[in-house]
A and B are shown apart, each in its own frame.
Chain A
Amino acid sequence: MEHETLFPLLCKTADGDKKAFAELYKITSPQLYAVALKLLKRPELADEATQDAYIKIWHNAGNYQRGKGTVLTWMVSIARYRALDLIRYHNVRNEVELNDDAPSGMETTQSIKLEAEQAKLASCLDELDGPQRQAIHLAYVNGMSHQEVVTHLASPLGTIKSWIRRGLQSLQRCLSL
């Protein structure tokens, strides 16, 4: 999808092509909205984050650099950072259902058609210790602060920070192999 579809659509969007932008929105918005909704919980805030993200995408399409990552990664990052801003601005409390958080290896590996890099990430995530993976997941996907992860996993702050830091280090080692 990435090379055949998204990149040409983004290039046309950069040229001011509204049809291409509409198509880009149609294809990618369910993914960006899912990310925003997961982080913000409240649909009205997810709506706002998604709107702001696409407005930014329209204005900044020409700044995308292919060498720095895929179009979808670039777009998802814009939506995530906007959602993180809104979490802080609206002081959204991060409470997740107990069954909602822990990513099992199943969840990461079964999902859609993973491209090579995604498959590698999934496999590297599977290699992490359970608590490390869970702490990173709660922070990244649910937008939790260190303190919120502390509350959620009922472990001391130092431990949580260490899980996240070491988990990320392991992840990087695994991914760069």
Chain B
Amino acid sequence: MMVDRLDAPIEHLLRELAPQVLSPVVRRFRDFGAAEDAVQEALIAAAAQWPRDGVPANPRGWLIQVASRRMADHIRSEIARRRREEAAAEEAERLALPVEEATESGEDDMLVLLFMCCHPALTPASAIALTLRAVGGLTTAEIANAFLVPEATMAQRISRAKQSIKESGVPFHLPTAEDRAQRLRAVLHVLYLIFNEGYVSSAGPQLRRADLSDEAIRLARIVYSRQPEDTEVAGLLALMLLTDARRAARTGPNGELIPLAQQNRALWDRQQIAEGIALLSTALPKGSVGPYQLQAAIAAVHDEAARNEDTDWPQILALYELLQRMSDNPMIVLNHAIAVAMVHGPEKGLELLRALDSDPRLAKGHRLEAVRAHLLERAGDHEAAILHYRNAAIHATSLPERNYLMLQAAKLSEMRSTDS
């Protein structure tokens, strides 16, 4: 559906309202999948009419009414199909009654939606798509564009996600106290995945592309506002801010990758860094330190260094040692090896990498090779470094990474030929 570039304030308003409309409609009609469809139709209607007729005095009420009417139509046609005409007429009348806007449930609807969309029964791809739609208020086209897949494909992912929810019988309530912690972890994980996906190349000219990193931060803020006491929620938000702060310095004019050590720190966003550090300062003292807080703390140590050479590597090393106890994620092991190298010398780091050679999760990738090459370079073994940079380049999964690794090999190669 081609829509002229939508008025920005209206677009923002619709995104904000989307989850606030979905919740009462779901509560009223008890069919999450159909409610989500009805709300989508209401949003599309608003996007078409409001720029022309003006935003209504009660935009949320307007959307709830339109969505409810769509739901009533949907149910009416279902009933007509079952041919119970009298009951159908009665049902239709009952359903046409206006939905009470203040369908107070005593629960936080935003959180309920988030928990539902991030339910462990869903695949990560489904959860990401559904969260961006139902909670983020993005259109299917915008989500498709962000993930560089056709709209029809993304529509199917969302449809299948809703089907999974229906089949798993997830109720529209907050999880029980015993499930809460695990379900919250699932939500945080989905938001983390969305944030990571946020690093995408330039998009097409027509559709407004939602910046996934910004969206992840926005959703994390929402969770934080609802659960300010949860330190891992604060940790994730801090991690996102402290990482996103470096965005402007990450790519060069030709789209090339600029690693942390070489970034122009004047381009880092100081406000985001300050906010991230403030979040950590309130969370860490509470004592229930988790992996997101630790990763955020590491990011904070990097972000606090005025120059690359001022980086407090011993502190980073200590943090990675703590982090390794909580997680066996091979990326953490790799980064720990780098920290060891920075504090105790490259040979010590290389020793740790040898232990990873047998890890199947790293075997076929380029990361282990890239880190090894980097440490060999630092150790002065340029011949070996060149070999491993080139091997890493061959296995790189993105062009900027491949180009960067090939360039590193080329630089070292040049140095060797001028020396000899």
Partners in one complex: no
